[in-house]
Amino acid sequence: MARLTQADLVALNRAFDDRSPQELILWAKETFGERVAAMSSMQESGNVICHMLYSIPAKLPVVFVDTGVLFQETLDTRDRLMQHYGLEIETLTPTLTMAEQTAKHGILYLTPEGQKQCCEMRKSEPLDVVKGRYDALIGSLRRADGGRRGVCPILAIDSRLNCLRVNPLANFSDEQLEGYIHEHNVILNPLHKQGFSTIGCNRCTTPVLPGEPKRAGRWRHLGPWSVYCGINPTDLDPERSPAVDFPQDLVDRILGRQTDFMI
């Protein structure tokens, strides 16, 4: 096995800054073969990725974490994407229902510490089942969303899942996103039209008012507005994801090195 660090990806990330999202999706498919999937939480940028998978076409599986307390509109959006784009979307769920969790731990999401614990159990742990199955997960983080995502790399190390996170939309501006959605009539979560700029669990998400930051509707009861759930490692301290261990030939493929086949 060979170690791959975020520092090893600096030159590649720089080179990828000029690539289109579709080119980056195809690079991931070619590099990782059967061991790459996309992730979506059924928000607009994730739905754009789903549309790109459909239109390229790049037959890749999609994983979706259903925390058990999502809005019905979000679940309906998943079903529409499967039906209209022919996507294979795997739904991952927590071990405990919200009722079981509450009986055991109380209402966690009302305090900052409890929120971390709740998001860990209902978002991050369900995703752990894909560890070892995929070497890369295609996400939909965009720098235009600001906050900690303002500097998110196209390729990011995820040591927890021992995989690469690929963010083909990292450079997509708000205008490009809206233009793509309009041009292709992308299926959207109807909650966006009701003032939800981002969408998570029904316990912790509200619409935003004009002029508020995009993430003001997330964990509004906790404040400040920069809270993240932690399912995306680049939202956390980058030091927490220092390296992954991959087979040497995969590291060579990622970094575009020639393999020496001499016997």
Active site amino acids: 229
119 binds ligand SF4 (CB under 6 A): yes
Query: Which residue, 77 or 115, is less far from ligand SF4 as judged by CB?
Result: 115
Separation between Cα atoms, residue 78 and residue 40, nearest integer Å: 9
Query: Which residues, 151 to 170, sit near ligand SF4 by CB under 6 A?
Result: none
Identity at 47, one-letter amino acid code: N
* Residue 148 CB burial class (10 angstroms; 0-12, 13-18, ≥19): middle
CB of 126 to ligand SF4, least distance (A): 10
Query: Which residue, 47 or 67, is less far from ligand SF4 as judged by CB?
Result: 67
Separation between Cα atoms, residue 207 and residue 176, nearest integer Å: 23
Query: Which residue, 36 or 201, is less far from ligand SF4 as judged by CB?
Result: 201
CB of 12 to ligand SF4, least distance (A): 33
Q: Across the strands, what pairs with 158?
A: 163
Q: Across the strands, what pairs with 90?
A: 63
Contacts of 110 (CB under 8 A, 6+ apart): 221
Separation between Cα atoms, residue 188 and residue 56, nearest integer Å: 19
3-state DSSP assignment of residue 85:
helix
CB of 73 to ligand SF4, least distance (A): 16
Query: Which residues, 175 to 204, sit near ligand SF4 by CB under 6 A?
Result: 200-201, 203-204
CB of 70 to ligand SF4, least distance (A): 8
Question: Do 64 and 90 meet the contact criterion of CB atoms below 8 Å apart?
Answer: yes
Separation between Cα atoms, residue 35 and residue 132, nearest integer Å: 9
Question: Do 195 and 208 meet the contact criterion of CB atoms below 8 Å apart?
Answer: yes
Q: Annotate each residue in 208-237 with x if it binds ligand SF4 (CB under 6 A) or - if it does not, as one string.
A: ---------------------x--------
Identity at 45, one-letter amino acid code: S
**CA within 13 Å, CB half, 259:** 10
Query: Which residue, 130 or 243, is less far from ligand SF4 as judged by CB?
Result: 130
CB of 243 to ligand SF4, least distance (A): 27
67 binds ligand SF4 (CB under 6 A): yes
User: Which of 51, 78, 122, 143 contacts ligand SF4 by CB under 6 A?
Assistant: 122
Segment lying near ligand SF4 (by CB under 6 A), choices 18-26, 119-127, 129-137, 158-166: 119-127
Instruction: Give residue for tokens 């927890």.
Output: 160
Binding residues vs ligand SF4 (CB under 6 A): 67, 69, 109, 115, 118-119, 122-123, 200-201, 203-204, 229
